[in-house]
Structure 1
Amino acid sequence: MIPPRLPPDPPNSGRLHPDRWIRILPEGVYVEPGGFYVDPVRPVERAVITHGHSDHARPGHDKVLATPGTLAIMRERLGEGAGAGRQPLAYGETIRIGDVTVRLVPAGHVLGSAQVVIEHGGSRIVLSGDYKRTHDRTCAPFEPVPCDVFVTEATFGLPVFRHPPDLGEIAKLLHSLRVFPERSHVVGVYALGKCQRLITLLRAAGYDRPVYLHGALMPICDLYRAQGVELGELRPATVAAKEDLKGAVVLAPPSAIADRWARRLADPVTAMASGWMRVRQRARQRGVELPLVISDHADWDELVQTLDDVGAPEVWVTHGREEALVHHATGRGIRARALALVGFEEEGA
Structure 2
Amino acid sequence: MLRPDLLLQPTPKGLYCPPGDFYLDPVRGAVDRAVISHGHSDHARGGHGKVLAHPDTLAIMACRYGASFAKATQALDYGEPVSINGVTVWLSPAGHILGSAQVVLDYKGLRMVFTGDYKRRFDPTCASFEPVTNTHVLISEATFGLPVFRHPDTGREIERLLHSLATFPERTHCVGAYSLGKAQRVIRHLRLAGHDAPIYIHSSLEKLCAHYQSVGIDLGVLVTVPAGEQAKAAREACRGQVVVAPPGSFEGKWAQNFPDPVIAFASGWMSIKQRAKQRGVELPLVISDHADWDELTRTVQEVNPSQLWVTYGREDALVRWAELEGRRARPLRLVGYDEEVS
Is the partner of 2:270 in helix, strand or coil? helix
Matches of 1:125 and 1:302, distance apart in 2: 20
251-260 vs 300-309, greater mean Cα deviation: 251-260
Matched, 1:57 2:50: no
What CA deviation, in whole Å up to 9, does each residue of 1:57-91 have, x standing for no partner?
01210000000000001001111562110110011
- 8 A contact 1:22–1:30 mirrored in 2: yes
Listed as ranges, the matches of 1:180-259 within 5 Å are 180-238=168-226, 241-259=234-252
Q: How many residues are aligned here? A: 335
C-alpha deviation, 1:267, in angstroms: 0.6
Matches of 1:336 and 1:128, distance apart in 2: 15
Q: Structure 1 residue aligned with 2:119, among 121, 132, 136?
A: 132
Is the partner of 2:102 in helix, strand or coil? strand
What CA deviation, in whole Å up to 9, does each residue of 1:19-59 have, x standing for no partner?
22222221111111111000011210000000000000012
Amino acid at match of 1:193: G
What CA deviation, in whole Å up to 9, does each residue of 1:291-345 have, x standing for no partner?
0000000000000010011110100001100000000001111100000001111
Q: Structure 1 residue aligned with 2:100, among 113, 130, 152?
A: 113
- 8 A contact 1:186–1:257 mirrored in 2: no
Matches of 1:81 and 1:18, distance apart in 2: 34
Q: Structure 2 residue aligned with 1:22, among 8, 12, 20?
A: 8
What CA deviation, in whole Å up to 9, does each residue of 1:156-188 have, x standing for no partner?
000000000001001111111111100000000
For residue 304 of structure 2, what is the aligned residue in structure 1? 311
- 8 A contact 2:225–2:235 mirrored in 1: no
Matches of 2:250 and 2:103, distance apart in 1: 36
Is the partner of 1:124 in helix, strand or coil? strand
Matched, 1:265 2:258: yes
For residue 45 of structure 1, what is the aligned residue in structure 2? 32
Matches of 2:150 and 2:291, distance apart in 1: 9
Q: Structure 2 residue aligned with 1:170, among 158, 163, 168?
A: 158
Amino acid at match of 2:15: V
- 8 A contact 1:115–1:129 mirrored in 2: yes
Is the partner of 1:82 in helix, strand or coil? coil
Amino acid at match of 1:215: S
76-85 vs 331-340, greater mean Cα deviation: 76-85
Matches of 2:253 and 2:71, distance apart in 1: 38
Matches of 1:258 and 1:153, distance apart in 2: 28
Matched, 1:102 2:102: no
Please give the root-mean-square deviation of Cα atoms over the aligned residues, in Å: 1.2
C-alpha deviation, 1:244, in angstroms: 1.3
Is the partner of 1:197 in helix, strand or coil? helix
Unaligned runs of 5+ in 1: 1-14
Matches of 1:57 and 1:149, distance apart in 2: 23
For residue 83 of structure 1, what is the aligned residue in structure 2? 70
C-alpha deviation, 1:107, in angstroms: 0.3
Matches of 2:225 and 2:199, distance apart in 1: 9
319-328 vs 256-265, greater mean Cα deviation: 256-265
- 8 A contact 2:6–2:18 mirrored in 1: no
65-74 vs 15-24, greater mean Cα deviation: 15-24
What CA deviation, in whole Å up to 9, does each residue of 1:253-301 have, x standing for no partner?
1121232322441110000000000000000000000000000000000
Matches of 2:308 and 2:251, distance apart in 1: 40
For residue 122 of structure 1, what is the aligned residue in structure 2? 109
Is the partner of 1:170 in helix, strand or coil? helix
Matches of 2:301 and 2:181, distance apart in 1: 27
- 8 A contact 1:47–1:63 mirrored in 2: yes
Identity of matched residues, %: 57
Matches of 1:163 and 1:25, distance apart in 2: 32
Matches of 2:257 and 2:42, distance apart in 1: 32
For residue 70 of structure 1, what is the aligned residue in structure 2? 57
Matches of 2:127 and 2:341, distance apart in 1: 22
- 8 A contact 1:277–1:293 mirrored in 2: yes
Matches of 2:278 and 2:257, distance apart in 1: 23
Is the partner of 2:254 in helix, strand or coil? helix
Matches of 1:348 and 1:284, distance apart in 2: 18
- 8 A contact 2:145–2:315 mirrored in 1: yes
What CA deviation, in whole Å up to 9, does each residue of 1:79-110 have, x standing for no partner?
15621101100111001000210001100000
Matches of 2:166 and 2:7, distance apart in 1: 58
C-alpha deviation, 1:245, in angstroms: 0.7
Is the partner of 1:241 in helix, strand or coil? helix
Matches of 2:337 and 2:148, distance apart in 1: 22
- 8 A contact 2:142–2:314 mirrored in 1: yes
Matches of 1:297 and 1:241, distance apart in 2: 35
